[in-house]
Amino acid sequence: MSQQDDVFDPMPEPPAEVTDNMCCGSGCEPCILDQYAADLREYRQQLAKWQARQPQAETPQKAN
């Protein structure tokens, strides 16, 4: 077993889903919807990096 096999590299977890009705509509900065969009972009970037390190892993279903 190589040293690389011993490294724990879990798949990134997607952010908790946010729905339109969770926004209060009062113009918060940042809005929960904007934060979710940023978190989702970050998750997708991290997932792509993880997939490059784990080519044998199954691809999860796409998050929104």
| pLDDT value of residue 55 | 74
* HSE of 30, CA atoms in CB hemisphere, 13 A: 8
| pLDDT value of residue 1 | 47
* CA dihedral sign, ordered 9, 18, 37, 56: positive
Answer yes or no: pTM beyond 0.85.
Answer: no
Higher pLDDT, 22 or 57: 22
Per-residue pLDDT reduced to its tens digit, 14-47: 999 999 999 999 999 999 999 999 999 999 999 9
Tell me which amino acid residue 6 is.
D
Q: How far is the C-alpha of 28 from the C-alpha of 36, rounded, in Å? A: 13
Is the pLDDT at 52 greater than 70? The verdict is yes
